[in-house]
Amino acid sequence: MSSTTARIAFLYPGHAAEDDYPRLARMVSPAADVTVIHTAFDEDAHTVAALTEMGSPRRLTEGAGQLENQDLDAVLWTSTSASFVRGIDGIREQIETLEHLLHIPASTTAMAFARAITALDAKRVAIAASYPRDIALLFQAFLEHFDIEVVSVASHDIITATEVGTLDREAVLGFATDNNHPDADVLLVPDTALHSAAWLEDLEAAAGKPVLTANQVSFWEGLRLCGRLSPQSGLGALFRMDPLG
């Protein structure tokens, strides 16, 4: 395998839009090598209790156990909500758990959002969330910890990730554009259960501004951890940036 190939593992709760990751791996040049591990949980629900259990160190440890002895460059916990609901300290615990077990750089989708917004030098964001409103507001609070101004929060009130994963292109584009805000520099669509990889350029054209989706920023963060970021086309404004520029 070429030394330029990024080897990234994604710990992904359940089944919904995990096919975005191999799709993204094929869309970048050079292509990346991705491994998706499906982690278990007690309940598929966008509630604080369910998401806290889903992102617990025990669940991450179980998932990481399937990656032992694999030659990897980085690992991501790919759930936005099941990281930010645990707060900053909980996210640190998730990252430390993975790094201690696998001895490679680790991150989470929530942290990927914060870093991607900073990379775009965005000051104000709008949130178009599939979650119920109480969960979406926790994402707002997470972003505000990094002095990111949230100008609007829209929620779609979908309880399960399984249902989110069934939304098609027109539904995703419609939800994003309907919940855009003129004062936002960037539109955020924060759910790894939502398909977006094939429609990133369409989303930005419809919104008229950069759009960050959960699977997009997770993959970008994985490449960043590997030191393999380079300008790419077809993946939105975030990927068009020169990381050295």
User: Is pLDDT at 20 greater than 60 in this prediction?
Assistant: yes
pLDDT at residue number 161 = 65
59-66: Cβ within 8 A, 24+ apart:
59/13, 60/11, 60/94, 60/97, 60/98, 61/97, 61/101, 63/11, 63/37, 63/38, 63/39, 64/11, 64/97, 64/98, 64/101, 64/102, 65/101, 66/37
Predicted structure pTM score: 0.94
Q: So what's the architecture of 7-108+215-240 in CATH? A: 3-Layer(aba) Sandwich (3.40)
pLDDT at residue number 158 = 73
User: Which class does domain 112-213 fall in?
Assistant: alpha beta
Domain limits, the chain: 7-108+215-240, 112-213
| Tens-place pLDDT, residues 221-236 | 999 999 999 999 999 9
- 77's torsion region: left (phi>0), alpha (psi -120 to 50) or beta? beta
**Given pLDDT bands bounded at 50, 70 and 90, which one contains residue 2?**
very low
| Tens-place pLDDT, residues 39-91 | 999 988 889 999 999 999 999 999 999 998 899 999 999 999 999 999 999 99
Within this chain, domains 7-108+215-240 and 112-213 share the same CATH topology:
yes
User: Is pLDDT at 28 greater than 50 in this prediction?
Assistant: yes
